[in-house]
Amino acid sequence: MKANELPVFIELNDQETSTWTHIWAFHSGIHSRLDSRLKKEAGLSHVEYLVLYNLARAGGRRLRMSDLAQACHMTLSHFSRVITRLELQGMVARMPDSVDGRSTLAEITEQGSALLALASPGFVSEVRSMVFDHLEPEESAALGNAMRKLATAAVERRN
């Protein structure tokens, strides 16, 4: 390369750029709105809500920590900080796994369940207003299929 030449960078094509720009704008917007609403109404962050939600839906209302981190799409280090905050607030409890002594379980507490019940109407309302109110049922199904493929690919690349 000559001294006065700028390095060439690789770009997405126009369709890819448009799609990626919209994905990023949506992701940033919904994450910000959910965080704001959950903080205002229940004092929770979006990721804290996801932890409580996944525990509440789990059999026995508990999960192995590694499975919970994966269900919430968090790295183990980020997850560890979130679960510690929730534990200090009395929302979750950690306990040894009686089946696999090497594992630790997280369980939602009564206090965590009450907070989830307080937060869930606002969460559901916000998701519906930002996503499902703008899509026909067929579009929602198609988007769900496309996002499932992308989420699966992202998880596979992470592992």
pLDDT digits (tens, 9 = 90+) for 136-155: 999 999 999 999 999 888 87
Cα separation, 70 vs 19, whole angstroms: 26
Q: What is the DSSP string of 12-74?
A: --HHHHHHHHHHHHHHHHHHHHHHHHHHHHHS--HHHHHHHHHHHHSGGGEEEHHHHHHHTT-
* Residue 57 within any structural domain of the chain: yes
Residue among 36, 37, 12 nearest 22 (CA) = 12
Most confident of 8-22, 37-51, 89-103: 37-51
Q: What percent of the chain has pLDDT over 90?
A: 76
* Mean pLDDT score of the chain: 92
Residue 68: give its domain's CATH number: 1.10.10.10
Residue 108 clears pLDDT 70, i.e. is over it: yes
* Residue 33 within any structural domain of the chain: no
Host domain of residue 97: 41-123
